[in-house]
Every structure is written in C-alpha cells, then in structure tokens.
C-alpha cells in the first residue's frame, strides 16, 4: 500500500487594533480501505472494495485506477461512484469495472487503485467561528491511498503465499538474486540474508521476473534467506530459503 500526501493551506486574517492571536488548525483527510490489495478476475464483471471514513467530519471520496504507481496514466477501468460524499464514521463500497485493455494470458498483471479523500469547502465556516481577534490558518493534509489491483486469470486459483517456496535465491557477487518462476506477483514485506536486513528495490517480484538486492559483502552459496511474503488477504508468511 502507498500513501501520497498533499497539503492545502488556506489562510484567513481578521485584524483589529492591537495584537492578533494566531490559531493553527490541521485536518487530515484520508479514508481507510477494506483490503490491502484487490484481486480482479480477468474475465469477471467487476470487483468491489469497502471504503471507511474514520474521521469526525465528512469527506469527498474520489477514486481511479492507474497503470503504474506514481504515474498519471489511467488503466482501462472505471470506478463507481467516481466521486461521492462519505459522512463521518460511515462506510461505502467502490466498484471497479474493466472497460478495455489487453492483458497477458499466462500471468497476473498489476495496476493500482487509488482512493483520495477530498476536503469539502468549509474554510469560510472555520474562519467565521474563529472570532474577530484570531488569525486562523487552516492546513488541510490530503492523503491518497493506493493499493495493488491484481488482474488475475481464472485459471490461477492459488494464493501466492502458498507457493512462495518456489522463489529461487542465488548469490551473485555482492547481490542476492531472486527469481520468481510463478505466474503470480510475489509481494514481499522484508528480506534478511544471514540476519542482515536487505534493501528492496520494489515491494514485489513480478511473474517470471527477477530482483537483485545488494549485500554488504561478497556472497557465497549456502546462506540462509528469511523473507516475508504477503498473501491475498494481507496475511504475512515468513519463509526460510537457501541460497544457491
């Protein structure tokens, strides 16, 4: 899951003879999603996810599906409803429907579902309630919540966490090389080699793909890899593997 932050600053000033007192109000606009990833059957009609507003104030919820994380290109999906109000401590459902696009017939594909809580325009009300003697600076922190949307073939019925032992680990100089020979994305939350925590380039290894992780010294065969894979339901499973 990725969280991206934007800050909206609205300043209001009311002056009177003498010194003005400044008050700072900060509100965080975000929603919580009902899952850490969404599995979309390649030939299915749609997939749905629950959206929860745990704040004490309403938000506008906006959603979209992107081709890649951190980019603006839209994937061939629509979200319904694309924009709606969600009152405090309430929940609703966003439905994702594929509209087009060609996807491989031999592996999973990865897109990103991004949901943003948009602040309603309440600045004037906050300024009015602040009183004549105050300078009110409203800082609105907007969080965009992005999770993996995995487009999965109907023939792929396994949970990736159940076949994660198939990932192969190999020593290559000062790099630990991981190869994923499966048609699934292997989502990883951490890797340790002989007890040393390694830096991950990505949080996953794509199907039939590789990932290198730098190590502090030259590697030899016979090492032990302790790594954690994340399953379809957000569950974590720790696996011990040998280095070839």
Q: Which tops the pLDDT comparison, 29 or 200?
A: 200
Identical fold, 2-152 and 160-242: yes
So where are the chain's domains?
A: 2-152, 160-242
Q: Per-residue pLDDT for 209 more than 80?
A: yes
The yes-or-no verdict on residue 14 having pLDDT over 80 is no
Report whether pLDDT(22) > 80: no
At residue 13, does pLDDT exceed 60?
no
For the stretch 39-83, pLDDT in tens is 999 989 999 999 999 988 888 999 999 999 878 899 999 999 999
pLDDT at position 122 is 55
Q: Which residues contact residue 164 at a Cβ distance below 8 angstroms, ignoring those fewer than 6 apart?
A: 186, 229, 237, 239
Residue 139 has a pLDDT of 64
56-70, 156-170, 217-231: least confident range: 217-231
Residue 199: pLDDT over 90: yes
- Superfamily designation of domain 160-242: Immunoglobulins (2.60.40.10)
State the DSSP H helix or E strand holding residue 15, giving kind and residue range, or none if neither.
none
At residue 9, the pLDDT reads: 38
Q: What percent of the chain has pLDDT over 90?
A: 64
134: confidence class by pLDDT, cuts 50, 70, 90: very low
Name which residue leads in pLDDT, 22 or 28: 28
Is 7 buried (19+), middle (13-18) or exposed (0-12) by CB count in 10 A?
Answer: exposed
Concatenate the DSSP letters of all residues of 53-115 into one string. E-SSS-EEEEEEEESSTT--PBPSEEEESSEEEE-TTEEEEEEEEE-S----SSS-EEEEEEE
What is the average per-residue pLDDT within 87-114? 95
Q: Are strands 134-152 and 21-29 parallel, antiparallel or unpaired?
A: parallel
Using the predicted structure, report yes or no on whether residue 164 has a pLDDT greater than 80.
Answer: yes
Per-residue tokens: 30 = 């975000």
Beta carbons within 8 Å of 175's beta carbon, 6+ residues apart: 212, 213, 214, 215, 219
Of 2.60.40.10, 3.40.1440.60, 3.30.70.120, 1.10.10.10, which CATH number belongs to 2-152? Answer: 2.60.40.10
Assign 123 a pLDDT band (cuts: 50, 70, 90): low
Q: Which two tokens stand for residue 56?
A: 């004490």
221 confidence band (pLDDT: 50, 70, 90): low
Mean pLDDT of the chain: 84
* Poorest-pLDDT segment among 27-31, 75-79, 162-166, 181-185: 27-31
* pLDDT band at residue 26 using 50, 70 and 90 as cut-offs: low
């Amino acid at each position: 899951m990725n969280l991206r932050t934007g800050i909206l600053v609205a300043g209001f000033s009311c002056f009177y003879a003498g010194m003005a007192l400044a008050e700072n109000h900060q509100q965080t606009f975000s929603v919580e999603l009902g899952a850490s990833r969404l599995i979309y059957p390649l030939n299915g009609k749609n997939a749905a996810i629950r959206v929860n507003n745990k704040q004490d104030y309403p938000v506008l919820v906006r959603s979209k599906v992107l081709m890649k994380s951190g980019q603006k290109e839209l994937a061939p999906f629509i979200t319904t409803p694309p924009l709606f109000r969600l009152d405090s401590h309430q929940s609703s459902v966003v439905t994702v429907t594929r509209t087009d696009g060609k996807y491989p017939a031999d592996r999973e594909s990865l897109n990103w579902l991004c949901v943003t809580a948009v602040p309603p325009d309440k600045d004037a009300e906050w300024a009015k309630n602040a009183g004549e003697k105050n300078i009110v600076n409203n800082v609105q922190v907007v969080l965009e919540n992005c999770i993996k949307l995995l487009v999965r073939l109907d023939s792929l019925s396994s949970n990736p966490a159940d076949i994660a032992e198939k990932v192969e680990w190999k020593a290559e100089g000062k790099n630990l090389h991981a190869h994923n020979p499966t048609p699934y994305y292997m989502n990883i939350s951490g890797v340790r080699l002989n007890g040393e925590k390694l830096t991950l380039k990505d949080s996953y290894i794509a199907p039939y793909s590789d990932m290198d992780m730098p190590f502090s010294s030259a590697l030899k065969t016979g090492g032990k890899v302790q790594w954690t894979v994340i399953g379809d339901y957000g569950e974590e499973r720790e696996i011990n593997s040998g280095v070839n």
